[in-house]
Amino acid sequence: MAEKKMVEAITSMEEDFAQWYTDVVKKAELIDYTSVKGCMVIKPAGYAIWELLQKQLDERFKATGVQNVYLPMFIPESLLEKEKDHVEGFAPEVAWVTHGGLQPLQERLCVRPTSETLFCDFYKNDVHSYRDLPKVYNQWCSVVRWEKETRPFLRSREFLWQEGHTVHATAEEAEERTIQMLNVYADFCEEVLAIPVIKGRKTDKEKFAGAVATYTIEALMHDGKALQSGTSHNFGDGFAKAFGIQFTDRDNTLKYAHQTSWGMTTRMIGAIIMVHGDNSGLVLPPKVAPVQIDIVPVQQQKEGVLDKAYELKARLEKRFRVKVDDTDKSPGFKFAEAEMRGFPLRLEIGPRDIEAGKCVLCRRDTGEKLETALEEVEEKAAALLETIHHDMLERARAHRDAHTYTARNYEEFEKLFTEKAGFVRAMWCGDQACEDAIKEKLSVTSRCMPFEQEKIADTCVCCGRPAKKMVYWGRAY
């Protein structure tokens, strides 16, 4: 009974997707709730995914010349207010420190919701000459945003992220870096997380407060909702003018610097769950799975079974992240638990297998079982993990493509959002009033203007005036 009950404890995603998600993060022991509303404990199983994600993203950053730094978590109120659009954009979400010990502070300190203002304050003293540029810095830290509605990983009051902040001599260099980092994110999502994304630019309504342009990667979750999965912002010289970041150029004149900022957060763990998970629990992409191969000894009480399991572990852990489930639970319970936790491969070995010189490798993503000779297990496992990543990416891509629709007029547009869930591609005139009207009536936002533009129709899907851009629209997390 125990085996059956364990999987029954997850609400099916068809019945209630939000409850399914909560069940998975709890039962797979990724998080726990805390006595601080809207904040979570990231448990070892969840944090191990973040560490692998962080490590591989950091390597990609460093390959493009990024250096890591760390700035304070407190921002003086006067500093936050230097860039008008920026402070207005963040004001509703800011947490304030008003006392130091028992003494009221002379000036309130904001707990960083993002660090543009601190980086600007730092750069204005650090940048003097064109020889000092570019500065390509990133910090791994936590930020605080006082969200009203919270959900584990997707939206919490404190979350972990990286924020890159770069400063350049020219507008062209800043734009180049902005696009470069967006491409780093897009490649990372596909090559590491097996999540396909749409790359594009945000409309002015949806862009980052204080930015000239915001670029985004958008992913589609299993329930047809979009998730903004990484953003890259070009600030132009707006922040530099507000903070006085100037440098002496080659021609000996004083110029304002150009800046960028870009970030990715722990919400990517939520994306992994909602793109790949199923009704048995997590399905982890091999490259961020804390355990890639879970060895389950069958009839482990019999002589030689556990020894063989440990011998296999010693061999496999030279190349993979491996564990042996030597608990006294039944094999069926162990299988259900391995499924729940999303381990990409399960290796089953029992007395008969040992006698025959083989084991069974079971794929988490498809449930397929493959008998494998013990001497070939390393090569078979390596090939299977590659295949699993490839197949997970292609399944996610097929799901996204099957849930991407095209609307040529408002009637089609409204019908699609009433009857279907997913992305809808439609033309837009460029006027924010149309975006506002669509959001008001259908609770739908513009997700991005993709780099790969197509002319679906001549007129705006909302107002019927001449269209300027093809936009991906959707309901989002």
Q: What is the pLDDT of residue 7?
A: 52
461 and 313 in a common domain: no
Range of the domain at 423: 404-474
DSSP-derived secondary structure letter, 284: -
141 and 102 in a common domain: yes
Place of tokens 């990372």: 188
CB-based contacts of 254: which residues, under 8 Å, 6+ apart? 246, 247, 248
| 389 domain-assigned | no
- Residues of the chain with pLDDT > 90: what percent? 93
| 396 domain-assigned | no
| 282 domain-assigned | no
What's the mean pLDDT in 295-311? 94
Q: What is the pLDDT of residue 84?
A: 72
Domain boundary among 276, 304, 331: 276
Q: What is the pLDDT of residue 423?
A: 98
What's the mean pLDDT in 239-252? 96
CB 115 within 8 A of CB 139: yes
Res. 6: pLDDT tops 70: no
Q: Which of 66, 262, 379 is nearest to 370 (CA)?
A: 379
Q: For residue 203, give Cα distances in angstroms to 200, 414, 435, 472.
A: 10, 21, 9, 11
The number of folded domains in the chain is: 3
Q: Would you call 362 helix, strand, or coil by DSSP? A: strand
Structure tokens at 46: 């969840």
269 and 169 in a common domain: yes
Domain boundary among 228, 249, 276: 276
CATH number of the domain where residue 409 is located = 3.30.110.30
Res. 8: pLDDT tops 80: no
What's the mean pLDDT in 109-120? 95
128 and 50 in a common domain: yes
Structure tokens at 381: 């496992």
Q: Which of 401, 474, 403 is nearest to 435 (CA)?
A: 474
| 281 domain-assigned | no
What's the mean pLDDT in 5-10? 64
Q: Which of 165, 189, 188 is nearest to 178 (CA)?
A: 165
| 285 domain-assigned | no
Residue 2: pLDDT band with limits 50, 70, 90: very low
Beta strand 31-33 pairing with 369-373: unpaired
Task: List, for residues 54-66, the tens digit of each pLDDT value.
Answer: 999 999 999 999 9
Q: Which of 100, 119, 103 is nearest to 167 (CA)?
A: 119
| 262 domain-assigned | yes
CB 205 within 8 A of CB 237: no
13 and 128 in a common domain: yes
Q: What is the pLDDT of residue 164?
A: 98
354 and 320 in a common domain: yes
What's the mean pLDDT in 192-207? 97
Q: Which of 332, 328, 312 is nearest to 320 (CA)?
A: 312
Res. 3: pLDDT tops 60: no
198 and 270 in a common domain: yes
CATH number of the domain where residue 375 is located = 3.40.50.800
Task: List, for residues 166-182, the tens digit of each pLDDT value.
Answer: 999 999 999 999 999 99
10 and 148 in a common domain: yes
346 and 470 in a common domain: no
| 398 domain-assigned | no
Res. 334: pLDDT tops 90: yes
332 and 218 in a common domain: no
297 and 272 in a common domain: no
Please give the helix or strand (H or E) that residue 276 lies within, else none: helix 267-276
CATH number of the domain where residue 25 is located = 3.30.930.10
| 390 domain-assigned | no
What's the mean pLDDT in 357-386? 97
Q: What is the pLDDT of residue 1?
A: 36
365 and 311 in a common domain: yes
Q: What is the pLDDT of residue 92?
A: 85
Domain boundary among 246, 276, 306: 276
Res. 4: pLDDT tops 60: no
